[in-house]
Amino acid sequence: MLYPSPLGYNVLPDMPDFKAVVFDLDNTLVDFSRMKQAAVEAAAEAMVDAGLDAPREELIQGIYEVYQERGIEAQDVFNRFLESRLGKVDYKILAAAVVAYRRAKTGNMRLFPGVRWTLLELMRAGVDIAILTDAPGLQAWTRLVEMNLHQYFDLVITLDDTGETKPSRKAFETVLQRLGLPAEQTLMVGDWAERDMVGAQNVGMKTAFARYGALEKTVPPGVDYVLEKPTELVAVVKP
């Protein structure tokens, strides 16, 4: 959805000539929230089945609290949760949680509808496409390979490349430097207003808010485009 100029958003006739599109990964290309919810719920249920005496919903809430403390990409969440809950790691319960989590993650990892078609259209148009993500390198590439997206992206900038998370200027300046393009010819697409949109605006990039994947649907101020579905991006880049 492209808002008319009275609301402060660009319209198609005044669009710049974009040479590159930079995507966030989670909740922009991959429906990460859906996958994470299903995987955490499966892990909690497996803990109960393995003998942890606690209500399922209480376990889910506790696991998410550890994620909030440690970061959504943390790999030691179940260990720390069990330590806080039991005073130790019960390896039977831990193993049950890990196996259930991995199975649910694999079964619930999905692209948003239209993502693959959108990437193909951008490639046909000769537009460079890249990823800028706060995920560590292995986790980012694992998701790309699982979704069979790895062949679309020659440039993937992760936390391992910059050492800083968005909205750090370093993260965005790194991707611009590697692309070899000026900021005004580069469009950032992301679901997180405070990180993706603000960070891109701070270095002069144009912005497209992926509202279809955002947890907070309110349109952030100053964005150039608002996307209700991934396929709308093609009209932005190829008027």
Q: What amino acid occupies position 235?
A: A
224 a catalytic residue? no
Tell me how far apart the alpha carbons of residues 157 and 162 are, in angstroms, rounded to a whole number. Answer: 8
Structure tokens at 217: 């649907």
Poorest-confidence range of 1-5, 129-133, 177-181, 187-191? 1-5
- Give the HSE-up count for residue 132: Cα atoms under 13 Å, Cβ half-sphere: 34
The band of 5, judged by pLDDT with boundaries at 50, 70 and 90, is very low
- 120 backbone φψ class: left, alpha, beta (φ>0; ψ -120 to 50): alpha
Express each pLDDT in 143-171 by its tens digit: 999 899 999 998 999 999 999 999 999 99
DSSP 20: E
Express each pLDDT in 164-211 by its tens digit: 999 999 999 999 999 999 999 999 999 999 999 999 999 999 999 999
State how far the alpha carbon of 68 is from the alpha carbons of 54, 62, 117, 194, 226, in Å.
21, 10, 34, 17, 28
Strand order in the sheet with 225-227: 155-157, 128-132, 20-23, 186-190, 206-210, 225-227
* pLDDT above 60: residue 32: yes
The whole-chain average pLDDT of the chain stands at 91
**Active-site residue (options: 14, 17, 24, 31):** 24
DSSP 109: -
pTM of the full predicted structure? 0.84
Q: What average pLDDT does the segment 100-124 reach?
A: 94
Q: What is the pLDDT of residue 12?
A: 44
Q: What is the pLDDT of residue 6?
A: 33
Q: Is 140 exposed, middle or buried (0-12, 13-18, 19+ CB in 10 A)?
A: buried
The band of 20, judged by pLDDT with boundaries at 50, 70 and 90, is very high
Pair 194, 166: CB distance under 8 Å? no
Q: What is the pLDDT of residue 239?
A: 64
Q: What average pLDDT does the segment 15-36 reach?
A: 91
Tell me how far apart the alpha carbons of residues 6 and 39 are, in angstroms, rounded to a whole number. Answer: 43
* Beta-carbon contacts of residue 54 (< 8 Å; ≥ 6 apart): 47, 48, 85
26 a catalytic residue? yes
Q: What is the pLDDT of residue 212?
A: 95
Give SS3 for 119: helix
The band of 63, judged by pLDDT with boundaries at 50, 70 and 90, is very high
CA dihedral defined by 216, 222, 223, 226, rounded to 10 degrees?
60
* pLDDT above 60: residue 57: yes
Q: What is the pLDDT of residue 217?
A: 85
Q: What is the pLDDT of residue 11?
A: 42
The band of 71, judged by pLDDT with boundaries at 50, 70 and 90, is confident
The band of 7, judged by pLDDT with boundaries at 50, 70 and 90, is very low
**Active-site residue (options: 17, 26, 160, 196):** 26
**Domains of the chain with CATH codes:** 5-31+110-237 (3.40.50.1000), 33-108 (1.10.150.520)
Q: What average pLDDT does the segment 11-16 reach?
A: 50
Give SS3 for 2: coil
